[in-house]
Structure 1
Amino acid sequence: MVATPLQSTLTWEKLPDDFVLPNDPVDNINQPALAAALTESLQLAQRLPETAFTATNYGICATLNQKFVIKAPDWVYVPEITVPRSDVVRSYTPHLQGAIPTLVLEFLSDTEGGEYSSKASYPPGKFFFYEQIVQVPNYSIFDPDAGRLELYRFDDQKRYTLQTPNADGRFWIPEMHLFLGVWQGMREGRDGYWLRWWDQSENLLLWGGELVEQERQRAEQESRRAEQESQRAEQERQRAERLMAQLRAAGLEPES
């Protein structure tokens, strides 16, 4: 059970410009690529509105008992901001600068209990922060090595409930009208597990390279179709010429 801090005061304040943000490095080289892949397919499918944004290793802020609490998820989707983008370059404060993030993703790390930490005392753990402080509707933990994906949804009891994937192993994110799931294959020289989006009709949202390949195959099919049509036309012309030659040999003059 998630603990609740006693006599806590939660406010939403802008991070001072001179506040020194944590500069922790990412766990490994794969994490930025995994995050970029998620954003790329949303952009190409026009599923990223102008007022929305995604970010990687980026500060989400709250103020608990007059102390700033900042978590930098591996990937986050914010559906709408209500301030100029220049105001959220360094960090983002929900309620004050826009909507609560729809989805926060953490890639499983070597830090023991980090993504699952329900520590309520300052500084609170990640799980507690997303669930009890920000109340993000969807919190997901992904193990890139094992290809294991977990999704927790904020329920009516104001707690995270572990969700059961569909028959294809995917999770429906109703706020985004998309499925989130695991895909195995090659991208940017990495052959492994990736997180991908599928629409309501189970169509995969493609990456740029896949769209280029899809267009190349379509062009090749069109070229083959045009070549086949040309061959058929030539065969028809040759057949007509043979027929006219046969009629002339029989003493008949074909009509023009």
Structure 2
Amino acid sequence: MVVASQSSWVVTWEKLPDDFILNDEPVDNINQPAIAAALTESLELAGLLPAQSLVMTNYGLCATVNGKTVVKAPDWGYVPEIRVPRSEVTRSYTPQLQGDFPAIVMEFLSDTEGGEYSNKPTYPPGKWFFYEQVLQVAHYIIFEPEGGALEVYRLSESGHYKLSSANEQQRFWVDDIGLALGVWQGTRENRTGYWLRWWNDLGEMLPWGKEQVEQERQRAERLAAQLRAAGIEPED
């Protein structure tokens, strides 16, 4: 057990009790799992998820505040490295005790009030307070899928979140993952609307699987055309 003390609360990093009942209610919006899965897929295809990293979707992040267990389940989150067998974090994850603190947490707004901006310090603490003051997550990202609004907050040296500014392409650089995050509008899995996408430092958007297959098909067709122009008939 590791203890962190603040002026008005004491945080201990303990494993989630076996008898603790997690919230098994369905997610607020059918779009949330699709957006989260799309974020993860492009990272996996690009080889940007190290073996000991942890990506979470509606998965319990735990801490004990003033002796009471607190669990929040962000819509998407990223931990750079866990330091225990993966079998020990199948149900929940406790930072410090089991590995790094989360570098990124995301919340996708829905019609249901979820308290994404709640700075309430009393039990149960609000999400903003928990991510900023308890877990001290470097990047807190709030996305509104219906309208495409994206807010990226970064933990400042003062220990409080500061709203980041987008670049000329309306993307936000996320140091901890070495990519830019932005909003893209299009269709995937029968859902047409706004999505979160990753871009590398060259400004190239990381593709999803279907897009990658199409890119490879187009490259093969261009190569075949070049060979034919040179008088060489490409093999099937």
Separation in structure 2 between the aligned mates of residue 161 and residue 168 of structure 1, nearest angstrom: 20
Mark the structure with the bigger radius of gyration. Answer: 1
* 2:51 alignment counterpart: 50
Match of 2:116 in 1: 115
| CA deviation map 1:95-140 (0-9, x unaligned) | 0000010100000122336111111110000011000110000000
Greater share of helix: 1
The aligned runs of 1:1-256 (5 Å cut-off) are 7-112=8-113, 114-230=115-231
Choose between structure 1 and 2: higher strand proportion: 2
Tell me the distance in 1 between the aligned counterparts of 2:229 and 2:82.
53
1: CA distance between counterparts of 2:209 and 2:215? 10
Could you list the per-position Cα deviations for residues 143-178 of structure 1 after superposition, in whole angstroms to 9, with x for gaps in the alignment? 001111001110011100011111111111111111
CA distance in 2, matches of 1:97, 1:25: 27
Task: Give the gaps of 5 or more residues in structure 1.
Answer: 233-256
Deviations 1:43-74 (CA, angstroms, capped at 9, x unpaired): 01010000102110000000001100000000
TM-score, structure 2 normalization: 0.93
Deviations 1:222-252 (A, max 9, x none): 22222222389xxxxxxxxxxxxxxxxxxxx
Counterpart Cα distance in 2 of 1:231 and 1:206? 31
Q: Distance in 2 between matches of 1:48 and 1:113?
A: 29
Gaps of 5+ in 2: 1-5
1:158 partner letter: G
Q: TM-score, normalised on structure 1?
A: 0.86
Q: Which amino acid aligns with 2:181?
A: L
Tell me what 1:249 maps to. none
Q: Would the alpha carbon gap of residues 28 and 113 (structure 1) be closer, same or farther in structure 2, given more than 3 Å must change?
A: closer
Alpha-carbon distance, 1:25 to partner: 1.3
TM-superposed deviation, 1:7: 3.3
**Structure 1 167/230 Cα, relative in aligned 2: closer, same or farther at 3 Å?**
same
Match of 1:94, SS state, is coil
Distance 1:11 1:167, change over 3 A: same
Aligned residues: 228
